[in-house]
């Protein structure tokens, strides 16, 4: 009789239970009760009660989640690509091609580009892949190696370049020639290191005017062609003191300076040749 009541209680508990795990254990418990005595059944129930505890676990994996493949490491969007050949796996169909000599070959099909690479034994290097059509250049292995060396040196120079330092130098307008040459050498060393140099010149005799000091600044700059230029133009401050700040020229400024000097030399040669042609006519 007691076993029958126990079976009814267990049946009612299994019917009210909502968890799949609890139902499964209760069904096993009922089957066990049918094969054991009353005292053994109580012992099984006590053990089952201790085992039926809620343990927080991760949710079950669905079919869609199981089919997902683990993602690899994402590449950084701002990562710089190394300069080099892409081989013959050209992703784009139409390319704008530049020859190994720097001339434009126009838009070409990738099949024609590969044929040209085979004929001339050249390699294809991407220059601007985001344009439409993308720009590529044909280069020899030696050209690629030289360009890689240039980029490495430029990267090293940019990494070593720290914050711009301001150096100061003060001397008198009546400085001796030897001392002035020593000061100029010191300024040249600072300019070569891309520092800014503030030069202050003190003039005792204010009555002479600032022209002498301004000419002295120009003399210092002229000793460093294609290197130094004015960051702030020379100006006169109180007490007969003049000052200016020099800086290193950029590559663009140095190129413009060389062009200007070349034009000056051309004008001088034209004037000299013009004078030579007019002199014989005057003698006649």
Domains, the chain, ordered by start: 2-37 (no CATH), 94-159 (3.10.20.80), 166-253 (3.30.110.10)
Whether the per-residue pLDDT at 276 is higher than 80: the answer is no
Q: How far is residue 223 CA from its own chain's centroid?
A: 36
Query: What's the whole-number mean pLDDT along residues 168-191?
Result: 91
The predicted pLDDT at position 34 comes to 56
**Mean pLDDT in residue range 219-224:** 91
Given a cut of 70, whether residue 284 has pLDDT beyond it is no
The C-alpha angle 96, 97, 99, rounded to 5 degrees, equals 160
Per DSSP bridges, beta strands 196-202 and 166-172 are parallel
Q: How many CA atoms lie within 13 A of 100 on its CB side?
A: 16
**What is the full DSSP assignment across 101-128?**
TS-EEEEEEHHHHHHHHHHHT-EEEEEE
Q: pLDDT grade, residue 178 (50/70/90)?
A: very high
Distance CA 223, CA 188 (A): 9
Among 159, 166, 139, smallest CA distance to 244 is for 166
For the chain, the C-alpha Rg in angstroms (whole number) is 44
**CB neighbourhood size of 226 (10 A):** 13
156 versus 42: the higher-pLDDT residue is: 156
Please give the model's pTM, rounded to 2 decimal places: 0.41
pLDDT of 23 > 60? The answer is no
Average pLDDT over residues 138-157: 84
pLDDT at 192 > cutoff 60: yes
Q: What is the pLDDT of residue 283?
A: 46
pLDDT tens-digit readout, 84-129: 888 888 888 898 998 888 888 889 898 888 998 888 888 888 888 8
Q: What integer pLDDT is reported at residue 103 of this predicted model? A: 86
Q: Check: CB of residue 247 under 8 Å from CB of residue 229.
A: yes
CA angle at residue 89 from 85 to 91, to 5 degrees?
A: 105
Q: Which stretch, 5-19, 111-125, 144-158, 201-215, has highest mean pLDDT? A: 111-125
Phi and psi at residue 71, in whole multiples of 5°?
Answer: -80, 140
């Amino acid at each position: 009789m007691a076993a029958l009541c126990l079976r009814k209680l267990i049946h009612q508990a299994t019917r009210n239970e909502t968890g799949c795990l609890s139902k499964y254990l209760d069904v096993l418990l009922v089957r066990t009760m049918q094969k054991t005595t009353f005292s053994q059944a109580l012992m099984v129930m006590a053990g089952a009660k201790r085992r039926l505890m809620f343990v927080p676990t991760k949710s079950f994996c669905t079919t869609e989640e199981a089919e997902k493949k683990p993602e690899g490491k994402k590449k950084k969007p701002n990562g710089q690509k190394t300069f080099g050949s892409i081989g013959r796996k050209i992703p784009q169909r139409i390319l704008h091609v530049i020859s190994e000599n720097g001339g434009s070959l126009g838009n070409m099909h990738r099949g024609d580009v590969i044929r040209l690479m085979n004929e001339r034994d050249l390699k294809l290097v991407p220059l601007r892949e985001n344009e439409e059509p993308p720009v590529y250049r044909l280069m020899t292995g030696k050209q690629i190696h030289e360009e890689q060396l240039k980029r490495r040196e430029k990267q090293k120079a940019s990494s070593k370049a720290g914050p711009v330092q301001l150096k100061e130098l003060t001397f008198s307008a009546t400085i001796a020639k030897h001392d002035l040459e020593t000061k100029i050498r010191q300024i040249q060393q600072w300019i070569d290191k891309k520092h800014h140099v503030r030069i202050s010149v003190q003039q005792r005799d204010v009555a002479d005017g600032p022209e002498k000091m301004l000419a002295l600044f120009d003399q210092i700059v002229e000793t460093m062609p294609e290197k130094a230029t004015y960051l702030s133009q020379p100006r006169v401050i109180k007490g007969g003191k003049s000052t200016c700040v020099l800086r290193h020229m950029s590559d663009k400024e140095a190129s413009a300076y060389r062009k200007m000097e070349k034009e000056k030399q051309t004008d001088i040669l034209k004037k000299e040749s013009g004078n030579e042609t007019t002199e014989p006519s005057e003698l006649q």
